[in-house]
Amino acid sequence: MRRVLRFIFRGLIGVVALIGVLGALLGYFGYSPAPEVPRLSGTLTRGTMTVGGLTRTYRTYVPRGLAKGAPLVVVMHGAGENGRGHDGQRQQFGFADP
């Protein structure tokens, strides 16, 4: 009888631990607040597209006074990331707006 209770107790601890880990992962990957829009001199637009049945969001930025024929800069992030980190890099390295 004691063996059965110990088995059930360990199983319950395992289930609680699994629920805790899954909850933490959901909180980490599922919650991404909208980033603050930085002050820019140009025009920032937002859009969406559907790829593989999933709706994706994107932003385009055109600096004020952009010369005709200026190069296009495309910034993409990997899985599990979001655009907020790129806003910080843009500000740190000045690649979108001097």
Q: Which residues of 47-61 are buried (b: 16+ CB within 10 A; e: fewer)?
A: eeeeeeeeeeeeeeb
Please give the C-alpha separations between residue 43 and each of 26, 38, 46, 96, 97, in angstroms, as whole numbers.
Answer: 34, 11, 10, 11, 11
pLDDT score at 44: 83
Contact 31, 55 (CB under 8 A): no
pLDDT digits (tens, 9 = 90+) for 34-70: 667 667 788 888 899 999 999 988 888 888 888 889 8
Range with lowest mean pLDDT among 5-9, 51-55, 78-82 = 78-82
* Domain spans, the chain: 1-31, 43-93
DSSP 8-state code for residue 96: S
Average pLDDT over residues 14-24: 92
- The pTM assigned to this predicted structure is 0.44
